[in-house]
Amino acid sequence: MSEPLVFMMGSYEAQIPTDRNYCENHLWAQEGPGGFRIGFTAYSVRLLQDVYFLDWTVDAFTVVKPQQEIGEIESSKAVSSLFPPGGGKVLTFNENLLDDPSAINTDGYGAGWLYNFETEMKFMSPEQYVDFLSTKWEETQRVIKGQVNEG
């Protein structure tokens, strides 16, 4: 495997592996048998911080639309809705995460994968995703500072 790309979030290095593709809602997609394996990028895990609860609101083999809520995740930062990368079909879930979602925090590109997904959508290359992050980082920093100042 080639060296991952790195996106600097302040002093934090968000690793962006080059063996998969990415989408705008900060999920990675790795093609495999029967579709794509989907998970959170290091960028999204860093923003979520410590994930400790995960629940799915759709069943396996559900056809979903873009922007359709498919689950919920709770972290030390917030409760957030989960959305698919786009239209397609959720095939199977990583059942291990329901009992213990800590792998999302510790091995997000491996054991912390979320679900398998069938889709015709086009994903961003790792390089395109890093470029996309650089256009969003300034806005993200303002949001983070706003959350800190509200606390």
- Provide the total of helices (H) and of strands (E) in the chain, helices listed first: 4, 11
Cα–Cα distance between 24 and 115 in angstroms, integer? 17
Question: E strands, the chain, where?
Answer: 5-9, 12-16, 21-23, 27-32, 35-40, 51-56, 62-64, 71-75, 79-82, 88-93, 115-118
DSSP state, residue 13 = E
Cα–Cα distance between 150 and 112 in angstroms, integer? 31
Indicate the pTM of the whole model: 0.88
pLDDT interval class at 149 (50, 70, 90) = very low
Residue 150's pLDDT is what? 45
* Mean pLDDT score across all residues of the chain: 90
Cα 58–chain centre separation: 17
> From 3.40.1260.10, 1.20.1050.10, 3.40.50.2300, 2.40.50.100, which CATH number describes the 5-140 domain?
2.40.50.100
pLDDT per residue over 42-94, tens digit each? 999 988 889 999 999 999 999 999 999 999 999 988 899 999 999 999 999 99
Residue 147, pLDDT above cutoff 90: no
